[in-house]
Amino acid sequence: MARLSVIPLYTDGLSEAPKARLASLRERSAGLDAEGLLTFALKEAFPGRIAVVSSFAAESVVLLHLVAAIDPETPVLFLNTGKLFGETLRYRDRLQDVLGLTDVRAIGPHPLDRERRDVEGALWSRDPDACCHFRKTVPLARALSGFDALITGRKRFQTATRAAMEKVEPVDGRIRFNPLIDWSLDDLARYIDAKGLPKHPLVNDGYPSIGCMPCTRRVAAGEDYRSGRWASLEKDECGMHIGVDGEGI
């Protein structure tokens, strides 16, 4: 997928000190593969001050396996939106056990936000952007308040927006690492098979990309692998990882 010409977005508005810090991190991590970047982020750049954001969905096991091999005590932030498939919740529990992750934190929308914004639980059907905002973006921002950096499993091939992202980038005053940025679907599948890792149970049921249950459908033969997310809507991101101020994720 061709990269979009919006890279200056990632440094616009930064003061000179953060720009220099970002430049240093990018220089020190240049040329590192996924494992090398994770080791650098977890052990050198931000030890004890960094968290992984994971949806425990179709591709999540790759990033989580790499992280667990480096430091299984790394905090893993899991967004339990209240609208997930039961299979995803059970998959989370299985991966936590199989990979030996010791600090998986389930986070979700505040009860007061539920009462104010979605008391009947059907906001997704009227305003999916607003639903994603209060069920994902707001809880994640709250959970990240104690960290200086985060790690995501986003890849450039996934959406047009993600095609422009960088391996190391600033977001909301923090540094975000995207170690799987250049991995393809074939790369992910080969890694999962080579390591004998558990697959999300919905993958073989026609769900190659998995989000919340009301907004995810099976993908038909020949369709793009993310076409089952927010089908028939002009939407391909939940909003958590957009641009500078803002997703598996």
For residue 101, how many other CB atoms are within 10 A of its CB? 22
For residue 186, how many other CB atoms are within 10 A of its CB? 8
Nearest C-alpha neighbor of 237 from the set 171, 7, 229: 229
Nearest C-alpha neighbor of 55 from the set 245, 237, 197: 237
Helix and strand numbers (H, E) in the chain are 9, 6
| Catalytic residue ranges | 238
CB 231 within 8 A of CB 217: yes
Helix (H, G, I), strand (E, B) or coil at 184: coil
What is the H or E stretch that residue 66 is in? helix 60-70
Nearest C-alpha neighbor of 140 from the set 245, 23, 16: 245
Please calculate the CA angle 26-4-207 and round it to the nearest 5 degrees: 95
CB 154 within 8 A of CB 248: yes
The tokens for 115 are 């009462």
The tokens for 158 are 């996934």
Please report the sign of the dihedral spanned by the C-alpha atoms of residue 96, residue 97, residue 101, residue 105. Answer: positive
